[in-house]
Structure 1
């Protein structure tokens, strides 16, 4: 099975709208990292800024910062890859800044030490806000003139202002053979625009490609929401845009996943990693993914057929008829509502659904069904792996399930204990199942 590298953008993607890692995402990512999943982030932020907003997140792999200018490793921030701006391009840019009356934030290395230079006497309101929110940042170094501004080994320029002010320079730099210019509205300050300029050799895509090769991975999965994520999407074998991403980013993605306010990246990771974590080298050709509303009809049919074939071995015909008398008898509205509200995953192979399962936010595993033709192939184990990982993310202390006679040995094999037989009334018929629990976080 392919070894996968997962690379996520931070702002608008992995981070919540409040610029933090949610407890759920932190628990999920840290748990998966402990199991060997290769996950890292690629951000336009500096490492100083990224470290602050990702506190508590396990970082076993190198991280990609400054839109791919640096790939760095460990607490000592060892630089593994560095792309500076060519000297000739620097001269051209600095002339353009002077001609247009622009004074950027200049990111540079002075004697090997990272600094952010700016002219306080020429700062825009956006730059003033940038500086005011970084009090105590040892990188900040105010200068008095342009000679002091453009010094050292410069690797990044940022201009902050109104779109009309920055767009002429952005247009001028389009097609430049040595530079990349990114103009985007600031995510947390609508109406404010950032023009970021870096070497064309530096990008999230090129850094992710380099890291993928270094780690010996054969598959790259990328997550993002902004225009600077588009090259990364093109590089990836699979690209995921969060629901809150820009329309053009969603259009470029392989799929759209839940938004950053719903921990979309962590949810995807739980599903996508489940077969390999559950089955190891036995993981087959099927994959586990998040449920989509358009799956509902096929999923209901699978449920009906499984009950009337697999469960029929342990229940009478009268009992399975009471359980689900027909495909048409299933309440679509109720099922659709609960599957959307729960964490629901499906197993599929070449577009065919092999099974599904769901868990609510209390840690109750509600449904787990596998197609009659795919019993005993690890599908249930992979689905349960994803669902139980969701419980880890929730931090629940106990997982529970109401298992049929058929499913009882499976759940006992996964550490669910203390089975208590109970009777459930369905269409006038009492059906036996067993309540089991398992310790959670």
Structure 2
């Protein structure tokens, strides 16, 4: 079975606008990593900065930092790969910065110690903010002159200022084929631009490809939001842009997932990894993905056919007719609203919809329907695995469900406990179902005994 490496950008992608990870994302990712999912991040941040904003996240794999200039592993920050700036390119950058009146932040290794050098008397307002926000960063080292500023083994430059101020240096340096040069707006400080300069070999894409090969993964899925993530996505087999991504990245991506404010990466991973985690070697016949509004008509038709052909084995013709008289009888506005509001996943094979399920924000397992031709093939198991993982992410103590006679054995097989039988009215007919619940790890089950 092919193993997938999942690589996510941090700022604007995995992180919230508050520059942190949501509790939901932390719970989901840590649980997936514990289950063996190969997940890591690729960021322009240093390891010091990345460690701060990803506090609480389990890092079982090496991480890609400084836009791919370094790959490091473990708490001891063992360097697996580094890409230094060529000496002639450092000299050229120094000349260009001097001519433009720019004093950069210089990231360098001085006698084997990582340092960030700058000249306080020449710092821009942006550099001053950078330094002030990192008072406990042991890498910071103020210097008094130009010679000291460019000492050591330089691997990265950052210049912070206005776009027009930085543009001439950007245009001059981007002609150097030995360099990778980025100029983009700082997402947390509108109007402020960062000019970042590194080795042409230092890219998220090349670092991720190196890590994929080292880990023995056959496929890569990447997530991003900014211009500097485009090469990373182009290197990946599956390309995901968060909904808040810049237009150019959304265009380069194969699919758009929920925004960083909606835990888009974690939600995608719950669905995408569920078949493999739930079925092991039996996985591979279908995939699980997030719901899209254009799925609505197909899911309603699947719902109708499942009730009339699968549930008919446990309910009378009159009961299934009352349950859903026709596809046209389904309230599309209500269904569309609830499927979009809930965590909804869809099983698909070569464009054919095989099943779907959804859960609300309380841990209530609302719908679960599987195409008649795919009963007993792991579709329902995969959907349930994803939705129960969503409940874990919510921090819920339990999952609740109102199971039909048909679905009751399935849920019992997953450890759900029946609370009571009950009846619901549909078109004047009473239909029997069963209130059931699954106690999650760390939670206590409450209900009828």
3-state secondary structure, aligned to 2:24: helix
2:143 aligns to what? 143
Q: 2:9 and 2:15 mapped to 1: Cα distance?
A: 9
1:325 aligns to what? 325
Q: 1:135 and 1:287 mapped to 2: Cα distance?
A: 47
1:173 aligns to what? 173
Correspondences of 1:126-275 after superposition (within 5 Å): 126-275=126-275
CA deviations over 1:344-382 (Å, ceiling 9, x no partner) = 000000011000000001111000000011111100000
Q: Is the 8 A contact 1:70 1:82 kept in 2?
A: yes
Task: Quote how far apart the aligned CAs of 1:237 are.
Answer: 0.3
Q: Is the 8 A contact 2:93 2:173 kept in 1?
A: no
Task: Quote how far apart the aligned CAs of 1:175 are.
Answer: 3.6
CA deviations over 1:285-321 (Å, ceiling 9, x no partner) = 2000000000000000000000000000000000000
3-state secondary structure, aligned to 1:366: strand
Q: 2:366 and 2:48 mapped to 1: Cα distance?
A: 43
Q: Is the 8 A contact 1:395 1:440 kept in 2?
A: no
3-state secondary structure, aligned to 1:103: coil
Q: Is the 8 A contact 2:290 2:345 kept in 1?
A: yes
CA deviations over 1:264-304 (Å, ceiling 9, x no partner) = 00000000000000100001320000000000000000000
Q: 2:195 and 2:244 mapped to 1: Cα distance?
A: 22
Task: Quote how far apart the aligned CAs of 1:100 are.
Answer: 1.6
Task: Quote how far apart the aligned CAs of 1:97 are.
Answer: 1.4
Task: Quote how far apart the aligned CAs of 1:171 are.
Answer: 1.2
3-state secondary structure, aligned to 1:328: helix
3-state secondary structure, aligned to 1:303: helix
2:281 aligns to what? 281
1:73 aligns to what? 73
Q: 1:416 and 1:284 mapped to 2: Cα distance?
A: 27
2:314 aligns to what? 314
Task: Quote how far apart the aligned CAs of 1:176 are.
Answer: 1.9
2:406 aligns to what? 406
Q: 1:175 and 1:152 mapped to 2: Cα distance?
A: 24
1:84 aligns to what? 84
1:6 aligns to what? 6
Q: 2:397 and 2:386 mapped to 1: Cα distance?
A: 17
Q: 1:142 and 1:18 mapped to 2: Cα distance?
A: 28
- Report the TM-score, using the length of structure 2 for normalisation: 0.97
Across the aligned residues of Structure 1 and Structure 2, the Cα RMSD in angstroms comes to: 0.7
Correspondences of 1:335-350 after superposition (within 5 Å): 335-350=335-350
Where does structure 2 lack aligned partners over 5 or more consecutive residues? 442-449
Q: 2:274 and 2:105 mapped to 1: Cα distance?
A: 44
Q: 1:112 and 1:33 mapped to 2: Cα distance?
A: 32
Task: Quote how far apart the aligned CAs of 1:419 are.
Answer: 4.2
Q: 1:12 and 1:186 mapped to 2: Cα distance?
A: 10
CA deviations over 1:13-35 (Å, ceiling 9, x no partner) = 00001100000000000000000
Q: 2:27 and 2:254 mapped to 1: Cα distance?
A: 26
1:19 aligns to what? 19
Task: Quote how far apart the aligned CAs of 1:172 are.
Answer: 1.5
Q: Is the 8 A contact 2:7 2:220 kept in 1?
A: yes
Q: 1:264 and 1:244 mapped to 2: Cα distance?
A: 10
3-state secondary structure, aligned to 2:138: coil
Aligned length: 441
Task: Quote how far apart the aligned CAs of 1:207 are.
Answer: 0.5
Q: 1:12 and 1:103 mapped to 2: Cα distance?
A: 27
1:30 aligns to what? 30
Task: Quote how far apart the aligned CAs of 1:89 are.
Answer: 0.9
3-state secondary structure, aligned to 2:345: strand
Q: 1:98 and 1:320 mapped to 2: Cα distance?
A: 78
- Report the TM-score, using the length of structure 1 for normalisation: 0.99
3-state secondary structure, aligned to 1:248: helix
Task: Quote how far apart the aligned CAs of 1:98 are.
Answer: 1.5
Q: 2:207 and 2:41 mapped to 1: Cα distance?
A: 11
Task: Quote how far apart the aligned CAs of 1:173 are.
Answer: 2.1
